[in-house]
């Protein structure tokens, strides 16, 4: 269903104790870890920054295509000039280029096709230089541009070299060494692109193998071109080593691309019917990765077949294969949206990543509360906010260790000398300070590791049953409960997980409100609007228990929604089942 995501003017809906000017500024100062701090004041720098952005948004920019018009015209003129030179050489049988490139082996229509296609392919390899690559990873962008540039330069050099050939060498086969050397050098760029595209192939050994492969063959081709007499054994050694490296590197690259395609499909098997856009993009990425694997093999086979062929038409075909492979691996894959998204998903598999929230200044909407028990949807929300330029803001905070703020407390300015824990949770019981695992076999190794890491970060007593007898286990649990009671008293009954998360979430919410973004709260499926509490009742255990009987909010969400109501912020309520439609419409800035 289409969601109602209309923008809302939040100027009049400012929190209690904040002026309109404060709300416009919105940024809160950073927090120092492991200290009790006062609520930060509103930054003066935010106002100037927002006004500057507003001024920039009102300025009229020259369209990107217009800015690139002159370079494009230069490339077009160079292409037409090359086509004219090639056609002239083909029509004049006595021209140096006609003798060196074609001889009498190819019919006139094939020579004409080659003379036109080769400059055209060269121009296509220059097109990416005029396209915006703002979302591309820097290293990947440099590798791809270097590969395209090598194809363009090597292709352009051919006509110039043909005109410089001495008359006594103007015969078919004079360019055998040059053409093969150019083909191998173009592979260096293709290999670099493949390596940078796939993190699993990054490494010095793989890089040295690519460079060594090109270097060895280049020496072999140069030796033959200048008629250097190499011992037969040495020539055979270089030949065998060259083709062995080609086979090994091609096989490794093709297998890596295939494995990447399989990995993407496995990670997204369950998304059909839920996140259709992501599933479609992932399926397309996987298909193109398989195509890239096939083209990598075909490209190597073509290189073997054209060994010793002096017709320049084979070089044109070779350039087309190299360019097609690069386009499939990079340009057609839409690296900025699909490959990087999938790579991000691969990184979060098996690990938790701290997320301090992110306010996208160009967004119109901000998710300020989301149920953490929907882990897959949460991961998708973080992924999109981190990677998609048009995504909404996400004020929610997820802390994973002491460094990110788990277990850290921040002072509540409304209650000087105390942190937010008292207002959020009241007096926390001692049971919150122990983490006991009675049946380790029923818990995955990953979850068990997370429990132990959390206990260390929060100062909890962690106890896992590991072969103890019933009597011993009972005694160990009693000792753990005693230790937890002591820790609770030493910490003043505050929450062991701390309240730093609330401090950072609060800063994100105020910044989103300052940017006049519409705020959104997501509830459990089928329970929109249930479980809300007044701010003053958060520390009342009876009220909390009553609200949780049929709540649509998680524990931290109840505090978030209570604060939003306390401050007078307007927010739109959603069922979590609407999440994917909501994200799509936010990306379209609806």
Query: Can you give the pLDDT at residue 197?
Result: 61
Helix (H, G, I), strand (E, B), or coil: what is residue 367? strand
Least confident of 150-159, 366-375, 410-419, 543-552: 150-159
Helix (H, G, I), strand (E, B), or coil: what is residue 353? coil
574 - beta bridge partners? Answer: 522
* Dist CA 556 CA 503 (whole Å): 12
Confidence of residue 506 (pLDDT cuts 50, 70, 90): very high
**DSSP string computed for 42-77:** BPHHHHHHHHHHHHHHHSPPPPHHHHTHHHHHHHHH
Q: What is the largest CA-CA distance in the chain?
A: 103
Query: Can you give the pLDDT at residue 156?
Result: 77
Query: Can you give the pLDDT at residue 176?
Result: 59
Query: Can you give the pLDDT at residue 206?
Result: 54
317 or 433, which is more confident? 433
Average pLDDT value over all residues in the chain: 73
Confidence of residue 34 (pLDDT cuts 50, 70, 90): very low
Confidence of residue 575 (pLDDT cuts 50, 70, 90): very high
Confidence of residue 313 (pLDDT cuts 50, 70, 90): low
Q: Own/partner pairs for 237-242, CB < 8 Å, 24+ apart?
A: 241/216, 242/213, 242/216, 242/217
CA angle 462, 464, 466 (to 5 degrees): 150
Tens of pLDDT, residue by residue over 327-339, are 777 654 544 444 4
Whether residue 63 has pLDDT greater than 50: no
User: Given phi > 0 = left and psi -120 to 50 = alpha, else beta, which region is 476?
Assistant: alpha
Whether residue 100 has pLDDT greater than 70: no
Mean pLDDT confidence for 473-484: 90
Mean pLDDT confidence for 27-54: 40
Mean pLDDT confidence for 270-289: 68
Whether residue 472 has pLDDT greater than 60: yes
Whether residue 322 has pLDDT greater than 70: yes
**DSSP string computed for 304-341:** HHTTT---HHHHHHHHHHHHHHHIIIIITTTTTTTHHH
Mean pLDDT confidence for 86-96: 76
Query: Can you give the pLDDT at residue 1?
Result: 43
Query: Can you give the pLDDT at residue 218?
Result: 59
Query: Can you give the pLDDT at residue 162?
Result: 67
Helix (H, G, I), strand (E, B), or coil: what is residue 234? helix
Confidence of residue 270 (pLDDT cuts 50, 70, 90): low
Query: Can you give the pLDDT at residue 67?
Result: 55
Mean pLDDT confidence for 421-431: 88
Query: Can you give the pLDDT at residue 143?
Result: 67
Mean pLDDT confidence for 272-291: 71
204 or 416, which is more confident? 416
Whether residue 65 has pLDDT greater than 50: no
Whether residue 7 has pLDDT greater than 60: no
| List of residues 6+ apart from 248 with CB closer than 8 A | 209
Mean pLDDT confidence for 198-214: 56
Mean pLDDT confidence for 9-28: 34
Whether residue 174 has pLDDT greater than 60: no
556 or 277, which is more confident? 556
Tens of pLDDT, residue by residue over 340-360, are 454 444 445 556 678 899 998
Query: Can you give the pLDDT at residue 367?
Result: 95
H or E stretch at 299 = helix 276-305
Pick from 310, 484, 277, 475: which is nearest to 388 by CA? 277
Whether residue 66 has pLDDT greater than 80: no
For residue 443, report the phi and psi dihedrals to the nearest 5 degrees.
Answer: -115, 135
Confidence of residue 77 (pLDDT cuts 50, 70, 90): confident
Q: What is the pTM of this model?
A: 0.56
Give the strand pairing for 393-394 and 434-437. unpaired
Mean pLDDT confidence for 364-371: 93
68 or 480, which is more confident? 480
Percent of the chain at pLDDT > 90 equals: 13
């Amino acid at each position: 269903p289409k969601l109602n995501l209309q923008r809302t003017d939040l100027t009049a809906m400012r929190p209690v104790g904040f002026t309109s000017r404060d709300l416009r500024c919105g940024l809160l100062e950073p927090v120092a870890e492991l200290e009790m701090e006062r609520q930060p004041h509103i930054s003066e720098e935010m106002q100037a920054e927002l006004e500057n952005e507003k001024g920039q948004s009102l300025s009229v920019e020259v369209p990107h295509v217009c800015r690139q018009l002159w370079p494009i015209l230069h490339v077009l003129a160079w292409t037409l000039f090359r086509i004219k030179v090639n056609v002239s050489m083909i029509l004049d049988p006595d021209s140096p280029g006609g003798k060196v490139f074609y001889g009498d082996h190819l019919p006139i229509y094939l020579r004409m096709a080659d003379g036109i296609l080769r400059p055209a392919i060269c121009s296509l390899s220059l097109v990416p230089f005029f396209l915006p690559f703002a979302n591309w990873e820097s290293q990947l962008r440099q590798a791809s541009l270097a590969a395209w540039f090598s194809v363009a330069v090597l292709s352009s050099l051919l006509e110039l070299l043909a005109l410089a050939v001495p008359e006594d060498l103007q015969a078919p086969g004079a360019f055998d060494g040059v053409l093969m050397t150019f083909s191998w050098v173009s592979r260096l760029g293709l290999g670099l692109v493949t390596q940078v595209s796939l993190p699993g192939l990054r490494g010095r050994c793989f890089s040295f193998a690519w460079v060594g492969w090109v270097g060895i063959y280049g020496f072999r081709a140069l030796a033959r071109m200048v008629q250097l007499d190499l011992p037969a054994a040495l020539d055979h050694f270089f030949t065998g080593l060259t083709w062995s490296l080609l086979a090994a590197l091609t096989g490794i690259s093709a297998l890596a691309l295939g494995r990447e395609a399989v990995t993407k499909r496995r990670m997204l098997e369950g998304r059909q019917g839920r996140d259709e856009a992501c599933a479609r993009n992932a399926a397309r990425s996987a298909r193109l990765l398989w195509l890239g694997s096939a083209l990598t093999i075909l490209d190597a086979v073509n290189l073997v077949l054209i060994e010793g062929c002096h017709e320049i038409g084979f070089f044109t075909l070779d350039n087309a294969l190299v360019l097609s492979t690069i386009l499939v691996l990079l340009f057609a894959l839409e690296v900025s949206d699909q490959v990087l998204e999938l790579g991000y998903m691969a990184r979060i598999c098996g690990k938790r990543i701290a997320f301090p929230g992110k306010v996208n200044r160009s967004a119109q909407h901000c998710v300020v509360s989301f149920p953490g028990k929907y882990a897959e949807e949460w991961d998708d929300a973080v992924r999109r906010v981190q990677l998609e330029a048009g995504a909404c803001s996400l004020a929610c905070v997820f802390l994973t260790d002491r460094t990110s703020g788990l277990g850290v407390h921040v002072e509540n300015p409304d209650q000087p000398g105390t942190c937010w824990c008292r207002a959020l949770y009241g007096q926390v019981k001692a049971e919150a300070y122990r983490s006991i695992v009675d049946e380790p076999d029923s818990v995955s190794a990953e979850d068990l590791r997370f429990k132990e890491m959390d206990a260390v970060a929060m100062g909890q007593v962690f106890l896992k049953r590991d072969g103890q007898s019933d009597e011993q286990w009972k005694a160990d649990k009693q000792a753990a409960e005693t230790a937890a009671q002591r820790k609770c008293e030493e910490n003043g009954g505050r929450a062991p997980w701390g309240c730093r998360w609330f401090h950072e979430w609060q800063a994100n919410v105020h910044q989103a409100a300052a940017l006049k973004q519409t705020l959104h709260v997501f509830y459990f499926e089928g329970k929109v609007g249930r479980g809300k509490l007044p701010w003053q009742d958060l520390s009342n255990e009876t009220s909390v228990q009553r609200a949780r009987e049929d709540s649509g909010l998680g524990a931290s969400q109840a505090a978030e929604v209570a604060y939003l109501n306390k401050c007078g912020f307007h927010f739109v309520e959603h069922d979590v089942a609407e999440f994917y439609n909501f994200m799509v419409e936010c990306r379209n800035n609806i």
